[in-house]
Amino acid sequence: MSDKTLRIDGVTRTFPARGRTPPTLALQPTSLSVAPGEFVAILGPSGCGKSTLLRIVAGLDRPTAGTVSLDGRPVAGPGPNRGMVFQSYTLFPWLTVERNIRYGLVERGLPEAEQAAIAARFIARTGLAGFENHWPRQLSGGMQQRTALARALANDPEILLLDEPFGALDHQTRELMQELLLEIWQGDRKTVLFVTHDIDEAIFLANRVLVMSARPGRIKAEVPVPLPYPREWTVKTTPEFGALKARLMAEIREEVRRAAVSTGT
Amino acid sequence: MQPLRPVPPGARLLLGAGFFAVFLGLWAWVTEGGHVPALFLASPGRTLAAGWSLLTEYGFLGDIAVTVFRVVGGFLIAAVLAVPLGLLMGAFKPVEAFFEPFFSFARYLPASAFIPLLILWAGVGEAQKLAVIVIGSVFQLVIMVAVIAGGTRMDLVEAAYTLGSRPLGILRRVVIPAAAPQVAETLRLVLGWAWTYVIVAELIGASSGIGHMIMDSQRLLDTGQMIFGIVVIGVIGLVTDFAVKLLNRRLFPWAAL
Ligand SMILES: Nc1ncnc2c1ncn2[C@@H]1O[C@H](COP(=O)(O)OP(=O)(O)OP(=O)(O)O)[C@@H](O)[C@H]1O
Ligand SMILES: [Mg+2]
């Protein structure tokens, strides 16, 4: 099959023992597939292996067992067809905002004019106009993650991997960024795999939410989000949203409690 | 005073100049006040006079030029050898595994101990002077650059991979630019060491240079000239250090933020 589906098949990850620390089973056999144009959110408590799963899809980490394939081809390493926005700030500090956004285009050797045009388009779409020549250190966290998003999008990946991209932002900025991302996604319907531990965020953005269990993670529930797009922030106050939230809260509370017990916090 | 709170620029300048004044005052007090014999330590005034005669009568400017040439030459040779190798070692662990143990050993070999050997090999000409500086700095520099390059943030490397970089792209577009400001700072430091090595090299078997002049003055018991020579080195060091610092800030504005 040569559709653009992302297939994750029985992926497991055990981090080997180091010195006195025993091996860590971070991810139990996990299988899922993401169809083109889908926005899938992965919801789970801290330490359940969300980042591990996403890093394996990105090709930055290798599964202990199982396979990942995109477009019918197995994933053997990182590549520009899977764009990623990280949990931490990863802009290149020596490049301006505009140059950061161009990074992948430079790497691909696009002509200068084309690079500039693409960068300008994503600067406008992510609301970064006026900040083109700022250094990353001069930006707020929200602005940095906008730039990271623009940098990933400018590279036109087949799938966008977002690892709690707004996790470090304050509540208001976070909501603003969610709306921005949704607007962008509604515009081009790029496939998105979005990791979060925020229930509202997952429901608001995704058309399918996967709930992961506490460590060692596995997918314990799948909840479709039948709210129609385009969505506005007002959707968060509808009864449908409330019902989904109640259901996901019940699922996740159980896991958070289990995680807390197993780590003794 | 509060920990880590910066000083305003004006006050900073004043404080910095203040210690120079204190130092000069002490020097003048122990010499002019007769607390040490003039034979051992010339007063600031006598030092200046000696310097003037050195510059006007003995062609000391020529010596300064020769020494500067040696320092810059030796430093550049060391940098050209060490920086690329250090970057490769930091980026590619097998390269590091190959060179690191030997270089860690070699950097403890005192450059001055090589002088007799180098004189045997290269005579007392310029090649020998440059070699002392290169031996003294190249191993240290390689190791320091390798450590800097090896400390490149892994998350940035990973981000670059997801944007389509391949290993050489990572080296060129992540490791090198990330390391550049710290490497530049390290070069500034090593330039300072090069001054020490050159003077040592010039104290033994040289016919020109600041070190040679200092050696000659010792024979004549002219402490004024000797101190003037040392002060000249200090002043040149201070000025170049300042200039390089300024240059680094210009080249890497993002690093100073
Ligand atoms: N390189 C590693 N070596 C050893 N253990 C690791 C490594 N990376 C992750 N782990 C462990 O694997 C488990 C899952 O980590 P992961 O980062 O995927 O969690 P997460 O769900 O992303 O958590 P968070 O929400 O806090 O980001 C954790 O227990 C972590 O300690
Ligand atoms: Mg994580």
Quote the CA–CA distance of B187 and B84 in Å, as a whole number.
13
State residue A3's pLDDT score: 66
In chain A the first and final C-alpha atoms are separated, in Å, by: 46
State residue B167's pLDDT score: 94
CA B236 to ligand 1 centroid distance, Å? 53
Neighbours of A250 (CB within 10 A): 11
DSSP state letters, B123-189 = TTSHHHHHHHHHHHHHHHHHHHHHHHHHT--HHHHHHHHHTT--HHHHIIIIIHHHHHHHHHHHHHH
Contact yes or no for B156 and A106 at CB 8 A? no
Question: Which residue has its alpha carbon closest to ligand 1 atom 18?
Answer: A49
The shares of helix, strand and coil residues in chain A, as percent rounded to the nearest 5, are 40, 25, 35
Contact yes or no for B254 and A94 at CB 8 A? yes
Residue A2 pLDDT > 50, yes or no? Answer: no
Beta bridge partners of A222: A210
Is-contact A70 A6, C-beta < 8 A?
yes
Is-contact A70 A82, C-beta < 8 A?
yes
pLDDT tens digits, one per residue of B228-240: 999 999 999 999 9
- Counting every residue, how long is chain B? 257
State residue A261's pLDDT score: 75
pLDDT bin (cut points 50, 70, 90) of residue A256 is confident
What residues does each domain of chain B span? 55-256
pLDDT tens digits, one per residue of A179-235: 999 999 999 999 999 999 899 999 999 999 999 988 788 899 999 999 998 999 899
- Element of type H or E holding B240: helix B223-251
What residues does each domain of chain A span? 6-81+159-263, 93-156
> In this prediction, what percent of chain A has a pLDDT beyond 90?
79
Residue A265 pLDDT > 60, yes or no? Answer: no
CA distances from A64 to A14, A55, A67, A211 (A): 6, 13, 9, 22
pLDDT tens digits, one per residue of B100-109: 999 999 988 8
At residue B216, φ and ψ (nearest 5 deg) are -60, -40
Of A215 and B172, the structure prediction assigns the larger pLDDT to: B172
Q: Average pLDDT, whole number, for chain A? A: 92
Q: Mind telling me how many Å the CA of B100 is from chain A's nearest CA?
A: 25
DSSP state letters, A170-192 = -HHHHHHHHHHHHHHHHHH--EE
Question: Which residue has its alpha carbon closest to ligand 1 atom 17?
Answer: A51
- Interface test with chain A among B157, B162, B172, by most A beta carbons within 10 Å: B162
Of B16 and A254, the structure prediction assigns the larger pLDDT to: B16
Q: Mind telling me how many Å the CA of A78 is from chain B's nearest CA?
A: 6
| pTM for the structure as a whole | 0.90
Cβ-Cβ contacts under 8 Å for B148 (sequence gap 6 or more): B86, B90, B179, B182, B183, B186
Of A203 and A4, the structure prediction assigns the larger pLDDT to: A203
- Torsion, Cα of A118, A190, A34, A152 (10° steps): 30
- Counting every residue, how long is chain A? 265
Is-contact A155 A76, C-beta < 8 A?
no
pLDDT tens digits, one per residue of A152-187: 999 999 999 999 999 888 999 999 999 999 999 999
List the alpha helices (DSSP H) in A30-140: 50-58, 97-108, 112-125
Q: Average pLDDT, whole number, for chain B? A: 92
Angle at the Cα of B174 from the Cα atoms of B168 and B180, rounded to 5 degrees: 115
Nearest CA to A164 among A134, A126, A198? A198
Neighbours of A43 (CB within 10 A): 26
Residue A263 pLDDT > 70, yes or no? Answer: no
Any chain B CB within 8 A of the CB of A167?
Answer: no
Ligand located closest to A42 CA: 1
Domain B55-256 class?
mainly alpha
Determine whether B39 is exposed, middle or buried from the number of CB atoms within 10 Å of its CB (0-12, 13-18, 19+): exposed
Mean pLDDT of B16-43: 91
Residue B80 pLDDT > 90, yes or no? Answer: yes
Give the right CATH number for A6-81+159-263 from 3.40.50.300, 1.10.390.10, 1.10.357.10, 3.40.640.10. Answer: 3.40.50.300
pLDDT tens digits, one per residue of A37-75: 999 999 998 889 999 999 999 999 999 999 999 988 999
- Element of type H or E holding B26: helix B9-32
State residue A153's pLDDT score: 94
pLDDT bin (cut points 50, 70, 90) of residue A1 is very low
pLDDT bin (cut points 50, 70, 90) of residue A264 is low
Nearest CA to A212 among A251, A247, A164, A246? A251
State residue B115's pLDDT score: 87
